[in-house]
Amino acid sequence: MQKLGTIANTARFNTVLAASAAVLLAAAGSASATTTPATTYNYYVSPTGSDSASGSKAAPFKTLARAAQVATRPGTTVWVAPGTYTGGFTTTASGTSSARIYWVSTSKWGAKIVPGSTANVWDNRGNYVSIIGFDIDGSTKPAVTHGIYTGGSYSMIQDNHVHHIAKTATCTSGGGSAIGVDSYYGGIWNDVVSNTVNDIGPAGCTYIQGIYVSTSGSVKNNLVYRVAQAAIHLWHDANHVTITNNTVTSSVFGIIVGGGDFYHTSAGADYTVVNSNIVFDNTYGISEQGTTGTHNSYSNNLVYQNSKYNISLKNGLTAKNTVSSNPLFVAYSRTATTPNYQLTSSSPAIGRGTSVGAAPTDIVGKPRNSTTGYDIGAYQH
């Protein structure tokens, strides 16, 4: 498995993020003005389309599975209109570093994908693939075990809402996740950015995670809550992962950094950067487990009201600039259908973050820079 240096990691993330989408949003869940680079090939999908059609804008396909059969060339965008679609399909085609394959919901969360006949709602095995703006809703088949699963490299999973996955799944070591980034098939780098993940797994199941990463890459600006085990979990071959500006609550573990059950490496989770995250009201906060290295760093995180412990690190590591106060969300609730995790004007998270590892915007497109200040968590005030 290739190991990439920290500087290369940051540069690669910024390049992929800029190429994938620039999202300007007014509020969580609002319509998005998503721009992607012009691509050579474009296909369209609509609930009123036909799979015997050409897939043009005037004659769209009806299913994403049909689009996956033709969206096979680098430099392709598949535009998916609002509506409900059946999942259970696999995307295998790969783009390139200069000509990605994009799957884009034309309005944020407007294209809803529900489970099909397989365990994964969306199974991606291609490289250089971006999946942007979908609503992955497992509530119609609550035993489905994975929302978005990617086994490729250089994927961008961005601005999706993945929820009610595996709520009644059988709890086995086969596991499950809302967003799964896997090195099993040789994946080496993936990014998970600005997604909302909630209500994942049956209570008490230790094998169901929110965002589960076993490659290098980044996990930035995500909102994750009510997960059976860990909101964000690094395991297997995870290393050189940047975890910044996430808000994670109401789960058993907030963030687990660890390695074990290795596929291709044995060094464990090392060179991991965990900065500017809100980890609030979980059973455990930030936890190093399994095999970890000495180069992990933890800075400017707000950790509070995690009942067993807030931070537990290994190898003599210590966290820096930790904020230990209630984040003062606008409307926090462990049980409400639509809690509001934006920051009130009194929040101690405002201006207490760091630029190190921060994405240029927050989960809804507000800029993060030296002028606005760097807030902690997914939302910039």
Give residue limits of the domains in the chain: 6-343
For the chain, residues with pLDDT lower than 50 are: 1-34
**pLDDT value at position 179?**
98
**pLDDT value at position 36?**
86
Beta bridge partner(s), residue 241: 217
H runs (alpha helix) in 170-283: none
**pLDDT value at position 96?**
98
Which position has the token pair 């009806």?
A: 62
**pLDDT value at position 318?**
98
- For residue 106, the number of C-alpha atoms closer than 13 Å in the C-beta half-sphere is 13
pLDDT in tens, 161-199: 999 999 999 999 999 999 999 999 999 999 999 999 999
Backbone phi, then psi, for 247, in 5-degree steps?
A: -115, 120
CA geometry: angle 233, 175, 317, nearest 5 deg: 20
Residue 50: helix, strand or coil by DSSP? coil
Rounded to two decimals, the pTM is 0.91
CA geometry: angle 163, 68, 65, nearest 5 deg: 60
Task: Let me know: does 106 contact 82? Beta carbons within 8 Å.
Answer: yes
Interatomic CA distance for residues 270 and 239, integer angstroms: 5
H runs (alpha helix) in the chain: 6-20, 64-70
Interatomic CA distance for residues 109 and 260, integer angstroms: 35
The two tokens of residue 40 are 């050579």
**What number does CATH give the domain 6-343?**
2.160.20.10
Task: Let me know: does 176 contact 141? Beta carbons within 8 Å.
Answer: no
The CB density around residue 185, as the number of other CB atoms within 10 Å, is 11
